[in-house]
Amino acid sequence: EDQVTQSPEALRLQEGESSSLNCSYTVSGLRGLFWYRQDPGKGPEFLFTLYSAGEEKEKERLKATLTKKESFLHITAPKPEDSATYLCAVRTSYDKVIFGPGTSLSVIP
Amino acid sequence: DAGITQSPRHKVTETGTPVTLRCHQTENHRYMYWYRQDPGHGLRLIHYSYGVKDTDKGEVSDGYSVSRSKTEDFLLTLESATSSQTSVYFCAISEIWAGNQPQHFGDGTRLSIL
């Protein structure tokens, strides 16, 4: 069964304390992986798309990487405004899109 | 920001009553989707549409129906609401199928069924 998991479920960081969020997947053929950011009371907002192992994308303090079984979202020197829930979604070879449950990130000043 | 409006934003209703949620887009995108979001679960696809009057089921479609009579509007109906349908519902749009490009999401409807 296709499955996407994210860890940790929740993460608290001090401002400036770098860390990584994990998205692991067991799917029938990966055809793309998406990262989204979701603020409380809002819909998800697109961040990155990754297509193949070894690919990396960067945006401000965020960098997404992809291996054959997982993706990492690295947050460098986070600020309080980076607090949000981060979702990953995987496109399978059957053209389904499966979302992970998300990681709730809190950055404390 | 993509022009997606969901209404109502909040609704409380009773078990057994019909409920309709509306999604309106101003982007003229072909694809529209309804998801539900529950704690511990990822967004789960309920139904989607690939054109006017063209709809299909997602992974959690039981108890839900949809209609799309105009490009810009996609309605989700709970014919007889149950407590298990208490959730936050998101509408999303995309120009081409979601797997080929990211989706743009509305801000959700929080639905409570008592």
Place of tokens 């920001």: B1
pLDDT in tens, B25-75: 999 999 999 999 999 888 999 999 999 999 999 999 999 999 999 999 999
Q: Does B92 touch chain A (CB under 8 A)?
A: yes
Half-sphere exposure of A46 (CA within 13 A, CB side): 16
The pLDDT of residue B2: 66
Mean pLDDT taken over chain B = 95
Check whether B1 has a pLDDT greater than 80. Answer: no
Whole-angstrom Cα distance, residue A62 to residue B2? 22
Give the distance from residue A106's alpha carbon to the nearest chain B alpha carbon, in angstroms. 17
Contacts of B2 (CB under 8 A, 6+ apart): B25, B27, B93, B104
Place B98 in a pLDDT band, splitting at 50, 70 and 90: confident
Chain B residues 9-68 within an 8 A CB cutoff of chain A:
35, 40-45
Give the distance from residue B69's alpha carbon to the nearest chain A alpha carbon, in angstroms. 24
Do B73 and B23 touch, CB atoms closer than 8 A?
Answer: yes
Of B9, B81, B87, B8, nearest in space to B41 by CA:
B87
Give the distance from residue B108's alpha carbon to the nearest chain A alpha carbon, in angstroms. 6
pLDDT in tens, A25-60: 998 888 899 999 999 999 999 999 999 999 999 999
Count CB neighbours of A45 within 10 A: 16
Place B100 in a pLDDT band, splitting at 50, 70 and 90: confident
Q: Per the CB < 8 Å rule, is B105 touching A44?
A: yes
Place of tokens 């860390």: A19
